[in-house]
Amino acid sequence: MDYGGVMNVIVCVKQVAHIYIQSGFDPSTKDIVTDGLVYRVNPYDETAVEEAIRIKEKSGKGEVTVITIGPPRAEETLRWCLAMGADNAVHIVKDGAEKQDPWMTASILADRIKEMEYDLLLFGKKAIDDEMGQVGIFVAELLGLPAVSAVAKLELTDVNKALIQRSLEKGNREEVDCPIPAVFTVEKTLNRPRYPTFPARKAARTKPIQQLRVTRMDESLSDPQMNIVRLAPPKLRPKKILSPDSNLSAAARINFVMTGGMGQKKGGVVGGDPKQLVTGIIDFLKEKKVIGT
């Protein structure tokens, strides 16, 4: 598909702490305990980066820029995005001690973004650590842009318009038209992020990352709009790894473990021409001993 013009996409990403549920809540910082945490790119943001790269690859023009706000370790997240294929990375370095609510984060981001050139702003629908899902929408507000949340399908129909499917509850979808530039926050179902190749990862390690600093004195840092009273860790799902049903195969057993103790429905999809479809289904039924061989 030809988008007719250059598509510059900015993606805002967050480094999240995973399985924070294990490390507990620290009353003094009113935050999760950081000791022994595991960090990763927020999976929703990873989907946004993937989408941006696909848009660039299709149009053949334009650049993908990723921005993050976070402590020095957040650089790893940017490197991962660069390895995926982002062209530029901006790291707004923030000291860990300074607590920041979504509105503050959005105002820092908006302050930087308004000085950049872009056609599209992508965010993940939410971060899997605090699950707030507000920053993207606030940025749109601050920049005066239209915003669409929970984007499950994105099609750029011409130079300045996007056709979008939003996911609603119970699997329903809503189709909307949106002029661009705009802010979209994306669902994980939008695409399957690539696993970066070795040369890309190697190259990403030495790509330049633009570093900026925020301090409390920074004008752009507006006052918090939210006051956290208490963070409560969710109930631990698989407390001990349950012994999976012994009748499961090793693969199913692993699925079981990986999904945290819930057996996943196993299924397959048969494809091909009608003849292959029929043999596929018959083979399946035979394998499951529904019909005799």
**Residues making contact with other proteins (CB under 8 A):** 18-19, 22-23, 36, 38-40, 194-199, 201-202, 240-244, 246-251, 253-254, 257-258, 268, 287
**Nearest Cα to Cα of residue 188 among 53, 67, 51, 78:** 51
Tokens of 172: 């329903």
Based on CB atoms, which residue is closest to other proteins, 232 or 250?
250
State the Cα–Cα distance between residues 69 and 92, nearest whole angstrom: 5
**Residue closer to other proteins (CB basis): 168 or 258:** 258
- Rounded to a whole number of angstroms, the minimum distance from the CB of residue 254 to other proteins is 6
CA angle 49, 51, 54 (to 5 degrees): 110
CB of 23 to other proteins, least distance (A): 6
CA-based nearest residue to 56, from 87, 21, 91, 22: 87
Given the complex with other proteins, which of 249 and 276 has the nearer CB atom?
249
The CB-of-247 to other proteins minimum distance in angstroms stands at: 5
Decide whether 40 or 54 has the Cβ nearer to other proteins.
40
Closest CB 86 distance from other proteins, rounded Å: 16
Among residues 81, 80, 112, 79, which one has the least CA distance to residue 94?
112
Cβ density class 124-142: b for 16+ within 10 Å, e for less: bbbbbbbeebbbbbbbbbb
In the complex with other proteins, the residue whose CB is nearer, 224 or 238, is 238
**Shortest Cβ distance from residue 70 to other proteins (Å)?**
16
Q: Which long-range contacts (CB under 8 A, 24 or more apart) does 198-201 make?
A: 200/83, 200/84, 200/85, 201/83
Q: Which is nearer to other proteins, 41 or 214 (CB)?
A: 41
d(C-alpha 18, C-alpha 32), whole Å: 11
Alpha-carbon distance of 79 to 73, in angstroms, equals 11
Residue 193 C-beta: closest distance to other proteins, Å: 10
CB pairs under 8 A, 24+ apart, for 228-233?
Answer: 228/30, 228/99, 228/101, 229/30, 230/25, 230/30, 231/25, 231/30, 231/31, 231/32, 232/25, 233/20, 233/21, 233/24, 233/25, 233/32
As measured in angstroms, the least distance from the Cβ of 246 to other proteins is 4
CB nearer to other proteins: pick between 181 and 196: 196
According to DSSP, the β-strands at 173-179 and 161-167 are: antiparallel
**CB nearer other proteins, residue 217 or residue 250:** 250
Q: Min. distance of Cβ 197 from other proteins in angstroms?
A: 5
